[in-house]
Amino acid sequence: MPSAKADRDGDCGCGAQGAAGGSRPPGQVLLSVADVSDRRELQKRLRHLQMHDPVTRLPNRALFFERLSAVLKTTGYQDDTHPGRGRIGLCYLDLDGFKAVNDTLGHRIGDRLLAAVAARLTDCAEQEGPHPTAAPLVARLGGDEFAILVEESTGTQQLTDLARTVLAALQKPFDLAGQRVSVSASIGVVERPVAGTSATGLMQAADTTLYWAKADGKGRWTVFDPERNAHRMTRQALSSNLRPAVERGEFTIEYQPLVGMADGVVRGVEALVRWNHPQFGMLSPNRFVAIAEEDGSIVQLGRWVLRAACGQARRWQLDHPAEPPLFISVNVAVRQVWDSDLVTDVAEILAETGLDPALLQLELTESAVMGSAGRPLQALQSLSDMGVRIAIDDFGTGYSNLAYLSRLPVSVLKLDGAFVHGFRYEDGTHPSPADETIVEAMVQLAHRLGLTVTAECVETAGQAERLRRIGCDTGQGWLYSRAVAPERIAELLGARALED
């Protein structure tokens, strides 16, 4: 009779084994049984240790992402019977000032605080109410970062209610081995459909929203805003392309006339840089100048604008020798004064273009000029000694310290457009006397200090007349002209009473 073998899987292993020497009596089967339950239990314990945080005993980062991936792989659906199916929510939180606890009280107290925070987060999750599957998953992702994953979310309101509950729970002081510790947390809240969501995308949104909560003042929750995120992404894209854009020649300059209030004659122009972005189109300065100041590319961009504007002013002068030359006004960021040798740059560009220093006006914001000392003040003084005019832009919105202003090498004040907007009629018939009184006082003080005054944002003939009457020297705004190409400025040379 042929031999028989039996093999089975399960908690015990079974296999046929022959007699010694490889032979056994026909019809006999020898079984070997081994108990592997201990091994299974050991593997289970090892996995638990591997997937849980030893300090807080919460699921760790690995288990969190395993659970998240499993949820996202399921096919979400939604109907009237199960309105929450197919959606997912996440509260991503970070303790505010946890490092200070570790630094002052030691890591032992810090670990106890983390464990206590974990316990309160778990309580908040369990109080969330009945769910079709289970309570939200609370995990420690590392350091002082925690996540609360809500499967089958019913909407943003559920997540914000949970975030509000968590903040309230954490605001209560912790008693840790005789140490009374108070902390707060910042929470990023994300809620969206499962369909089309990836683990990477969800965590990026949560991380971004947590950053917003921190930036907005900490101790709060913030909900993910697609529009705000798109703005952030655009800002990052602009920042990464600023320096190469200068080298690629993507920037252009338009010029807005500065007109004498008394006779309507163009005295000068302000150079306004534009970015002809290949993806976002023509961008005005308020879209990218602040970014350039933050990352330092304003130095390179500012140098290019200064050279291009001075060269253009010189060309107008040479092309129209019979007309009084226009002065060119160029904006300068305070970082250009600190991070570059502005005085040397200006001297070299004036020599290169042949422009008279008296035809160059540099504009700095009031907040950048006021309180200037050391290198900035020395640079301004050197530029003034060179013959360059210094103007304070948006005057009246910052310090407005005319006493300090008298000690600076400044020759022009540009009144912020908010004052000019205030010149409009209150009821359509009678002007507002307060605005006119304030501007008139500033103009008179400026004149006594030997300064000229330019009014920005002049849009109506009535505004222009009132500004002329109180003594403003020059005006700038849509009443006269928008910022235009250099060819259009050539047509305006010598023109009077400019109209739209």
125-166 pLDDT, tens digit per residue, is: 988 755 545 689 999 999 999 999 999 899 999 999 999 999
Q: Do the Cβ atoms of 206 and 90 come closer than 8 Å?
A: yes
User: Residue 342: phi, psi to the nearest 5?
Assistant: -60, -40
Among 72-76, 175-179, 315-319, whose mean pLDDT is lowest?
72-76
User: Residue 303: phi, psi to the nearest 5?
Assistant: -65, -40
Report which residue type is found at 24.
Answer: R
pLDDT per residue as tens digits for the range 423-448: 765 444 556 677 788 889 889 988 98
Q: Do the Cβ atoms of 480 and 257 come closer than 8 Å?
A: yes
Strands 389-395 and 327-331: unpaired
Q: Residue by residue, what is the 3-state secondary structure of 390-439?
A: EEEEEECCCCCCHHHHCCCCCCEEEECHHHHHCCCCCCCCCCCHHHHHHH
Q: Please tell me the distance from the alpha carbon of residue 260 to that of residue 455, in angstroms, as a whole number.
A: 10
Continuous segment of H or E residues that includes residue 129: none
pLDDT band at 84, cuts 50/70/90? very low
Whole-angstrom CA distances from 243 to 247, 302, 336, 468, 482 are: 7, 11, 15, 42, 28
* CA terminus-to-terminus distance, the chain: 113
Q: Do the Cβ atoms of 492 and 452 come closer than 8 Å?
A: no
Continuous segment of H or E residues that includes residue 214: helix 199-215
pLDDT per residue as tens digits for the range 5-15: 444 444 444 44
* pTM of the entire predicted model: 0.67
Q: Do the Cβ atoms of 189 and 221 come closer than 8 Å?
A: yes
State residue 184's pLDDT score.
93
492: pLDDT strictly greater than 80? no
Q: Do the Cβ atoms of 443 and 453 come closer than 8 Å?
A: yes
